[in-house]
Amino acid sequence: MSDAVVSIIPEMKRKTVEAFVEKAQENDVELKEAKVVPISLVTIGKNEIGNAVVTEREDIARMSEKRLKKGDSICLDFGDHHVGYVTLKLNSAGSPQDAPAFLRLKFAEIPQEILDDSNTYEGWISKGWIQEEFIHIDVLPCELKLPRRYAFRYLEVLAIDTSQKFQLVVEAAETTAVSAVSMEDVETLTELPEDLQKIDRASLKTLQDCMQHVFEDGPKRDRRLWIGDLRLQAKANYAAFKNLDLVRRCMYLFAGLTRDDGKISACLFTEPVMQADDTFLWDYSLFFISILYDYYKETKDIKTVEELWPAAYRQIELALEDMQDGVLRDDEPLTAFIDWKEGLNRQAAAQGVWIYCLRQGKELAKLLGNKEDIAYIQKLLNHALVDAVRAFWDEEQEVFVSGKDRQVSWISQAWMVLADVFDKEKSRKLMLGILENKKAVTVLTPYAYHHVIEALLHVGEQEKALEMMRTYWGGIIELGADTFWEAFDPEDPLASPYGNMQVNSFCHAWSCTPAWLLREYFK
What percent of the chain shows pLDDT beyond 70?
Answer: 99
Instruction: Provide φ and ψ at 238, rounded to 5°.
Output: -60, -35
Quote the pLDDT of residue 2.
40
For 180, half-sphere exposure in the C-beta direction (CA atoms, 13 angstrom radius) is 23
Number of residues written out for the chain: 523
Instruction: Provide φ and ψ at 321, rounded to 5°.
Output: -65, -20
Give the residue-averaged pLDDT of 32-39.
98
Burial of 72 (0-12, 13-18, 19+ CB in 10 A): middle
Quote the pLDDT of residue 425.
98
Q: How far apart are CA 229 and CA 236, in angstroms?
A: 11
Give Cα 42 distance to the centre of its chain. Answer: 28
Closest-CA residue to 248 (of 496, 27, 78, 15)? 27
For 431, half-sphere exposure in the C-beta direction (CA atoms, 13 angstrom radius) is 30
Instruction: Provide φ and ψ at 161, rounded to 5°.
Output: -160, 145
| Residues whose CB is less than 8 angstroms from the CB of residue 172 and which lie 6 or more positions away in sequence, other chains included | 37, 63, 64, 88, 89
Angle ∠(376,347,388) on CA atoms, nearest 5: 50
Q: What is the mean pLDDT of the chain?
A: 96
Q: Report helix angle 302-319 to 244-256, nearest 10.
A: 40
Q: How far apart are CA 443 and CA 509, in angstroms?
A: 17
Query: Is-contact 354 326, C-beta < 8 A?
Result: no
Catalogue all structural domains in the chain, each as residue range(s) with its CATH number: 14-31+181-521 (1.50.10.10), 34-179 (2.60.120.260)
Pairing between β-strand 166-179 and β-strand 32-36 as defined by DSSP bridges: antiparallel
Q: How far apart are CA 309 and CA 285, in angstroms?
A: 13
The sign of the CA dihedral 210, 213, 215, 217 is negative
Q: How far apart are CA 345 and CA 368, in angstroms?
A: 36
Pairing between β-strand 40-46 and β-strand 52-59 as defined by DSSP bridges: antiparallel
Biggest alpha carbon–alpha carbon distance for the chain: 83
Q: For the segment 366-386, what is each residue's pLDDT rounded down to a tens digit?
A: 999 999 999 999 999 999 999
Radius of gyration of the chain (CA): 25
Peptide bond before residue 195 is cis, with ω within 30 degrees of 0: no
**Secondary structure of 319-373 as H, E, C letters:** HHHHEECCEECCCCCCCCCCCCCCCCCCHHHHHHHHHHHHHHHHHHHHHHCCHHH
Q: How far apart are CA 282 and CA 353, in angstroms?
A: 10
- Model confidence at 495, pLDDT cuts 50, 70, 90, reads confident
Quote the pLDDT of residue 3.
47
DSSP string for 229-264:
HHHHHHHHHHHTT--HHHHHHHHHHHHHEEETT-PP
- Model confidence at 4, pLDDT cuts 50, 70, 90, reads low
The pTM of the full predicted model, rounded to 2 decimals, is 0.96
Long-range contacts of 358-366 (CB under 8 A, 24+ apart): 358/316, 358/384, 359/419, 359/420, 360/289, 360/290, 360/293, 361/289, 361/293, 361/312, 361/313, 361/316, 363/293, 364/289, 364/292, 364/293, 364/296, 364/305, 364/309, 364/312, 365/309, 365/313
Quote the pLDDT of residue 430.
98
Query: Is-contact 134 104, C-beta < 8 A?
Result: yes
Q: Give yes or no for residue 57 having a pLDDT over 90.
A: yes
- Model confidence at 5, pLDDT cuts 50, 70, 90, reads low
Q: Give yes or no for residue 357 having a pLDDT over 50.
A: yes
Q: Give yes or no for residue 1 having a pLDDT over 50.
A: no
Peptide bond before residue 219 is cis, with ω within 30 degrees of 0: no
